[in-house]
Every structure is written in C-alpha cells, then in structure tokens.
Amino acid sequence: MSAEDWQLIWFTARMAALSTCLVLPVGLALAWCLARPRWRGKALVETLVSLPLVLPPVVTGLVLLTLFGRRGPLGRWLYQQLGLDIVFTWKAVVLALAVMSLPLFVRAARTALEEVNPLFEQLARTLGAGEWRVLLTITLPLARRGIIAGTMLAFARALGEFGATIMVAGNIPGQTTTLPVAIYSSVELGVTARPWMLAGVSATLAFLAIWTSERLVRRPKGLRLKAKG
C-alpha cells in the first residue's frame, strides 16, 4: 500500500471516530427520551431520527448540503457568527457520517435502556438518589453493553458511508475523500487492483466492528431480573 492509501485509511478512521464522538451524547439523549413513556411529539422524533436509515443516502446528503451550504439557513449562520465553513471540508464528512450512523446508535441504545428493569431505578430513588444519579449509577451501567454495541455499529456504519458524504463533502483527495469514495473514484478511473485492496481494508474494519458489537450484546446471565407486580 502506498503512503497515500495509508493516509486515506487513517483519515477515514479518524472521521468515523469523530462522528461517533458526536453521535454518542446526542444519540444517548435521544435514546433516553425515546425510552421514556409517552410524550408529545415522540412519534415525530422517532421517525425523524430513523429517516436516514431508509432515505436514499444521496437525499440525506442533499438535505445536509442545502442546510449547511453557505447560502443555506444553518450554513449561513455558522459562517457569519463563527466563520465556519462546513460543506466540502472534513467537517462535512463528520457531519454526514454522524447523521447517517445516528439512527443505528439510537436504536441499539434505546433497546438497551428499555431493557433496564425500572424497579432498579425506582429502588435507587427510594434510597435517596435523584434523577441524574439514577441515570449515571443505575441506568447507564445496566445498559452499557447495548450502548457500547450501538457505538461499534455506528462506527462501522460511518466507515462505509458513501452517498451522503460525496454529496456534502465531495471528493477532494487528501481533504475529504474517504475510503468508499476512493473506491468509487478508482473504479471510475479504470484502476483494477486498488479498489479491491481498499475494499478488503473496508471489509476487515467492518467485520471487526460488527464482531465486537455482537460479542457485547450477548449479555452474561444474571444481569436480568423480571419485574413483578
């Protein structure tokens, strides 16, 4: 592999890691809200979060491009207030990866949070714990496996994201090109060996992430307790 290829892999992994860092707090907050019983607008938030799962990634990319472009409502504000340029920079890569991997994380984390027996949380309250303490010492630790698994899934998804990335970040070698985009453009250029080599790297990374995630979801026995009325 050339130095250029290594740089590409390293860049993609870094972008995926950054996007996962972004997904984690936002996704946890969303998952926690969605794991609560009924509230107004829950169905709407639920749908919006999951939308990137089923929408063509290119459409998600188009929406992001419109929102964060320098003339877009969010992009203009960011540029005028903070001097930030988003589209066609590495920030757009992170943004696209984050939006595309958020639904996977939220789904995994939400299931994990819902599986925590509410009796544990209630008992912690009778022992004097406030909501934050219950969340940090009971709910999150008991849901940690699912949350970590969701994180791995989100990371794997980010590594492979193509459609939204190319829309909003483009294909600037050394600046915004990620692994999948590089595979695509190599094929376009008619190169034969490089796409397969990059595809191998891609598959290996994805395999490792999913494998870890699967291992983590299988909980050991004894962590569950059935609720009784």
Partner 1 sequence: MREGLEASFAKRFDGGAVIEICGLTLGADPEITVLFGPSGCGKTTVLRCLAGLERPDSGTIRFGEEFWFGSAGRHPLPPQRRKVGFVPQDYALFPHLSVEQNIGYGLYGLPARESRARVAGTMRWLGLEGLEQRRPGALSGGQQQRVALARALVTRPRLLLLDEPLSALDAPARLRVRNELRPMLRRLSIPTLLVTHDRAEALALGDTLWVMNRGKLLQHGLAHEVFSRPADLDVAAIVAMETVQPGRVLKITDGLATVAVGPAILTALALDVQAVAEEVYVCIRAEEVILVKGPGSPSSARNCLPGTVCSLAREGPMVRAHLDCGFPLAALLTHQACEEMLLRQGDAVSALIKAPHIHLIPRAG
Are 184 and 162 in contact, with CB atoms under 8 Å apart? yes
Are 179 and 201 in contact, with CB atoms under 8 Å apart? yes
Rounded to an integer, what is the distance from CA 138 to the centroid of its chain? Answer: 24
**C-beta of 7 vs 122, nearer to partner 1:** 122
Residue pointed to by tokens 């320098």: 70
**C-beta of 215 vs 224, nearer to partner 1:** 224
Rounded to an integer, what is the distance from CA 58 to the centroid of its chain? Answer: 17
For the chain, state the CA radius of gyration: 20
Are 116 and 138 in contact, with CB atoms under 8 Å apart? yes
CA distance 103 to 98: 9
Binding mask 77-116 for partner 1 (x = CB under 8 A): ----------------------------------------
* Residue from 81, 126, 132, 189 binding partner 1 (CB under 8 A): 126
**C-beta of 29 vs 223, nearer to partner 1:** 223
**C-beta of 138 vs 182, nearer to partner 1:** 138
* Residue from 43, 48, 74, 123 binding partner 1 (CB under 8 A): 123
Site for partner 1 in 139-158 (CB under 8 A): 141-142
How big is the CA angle at 171 (ends 1 and 71), to the nearest 5 degrees?
155
* Residue from 43, 84, 119, 172 binding partner 1 (CB under 8 A): 119
**C-beta of 71 vs 226, nearer to partner 1:** 226
Site for partner 1, rule CB under 8 A:
117, 119-120, 122-130, 133, 137-138, 141-142, 221-226, 228-229
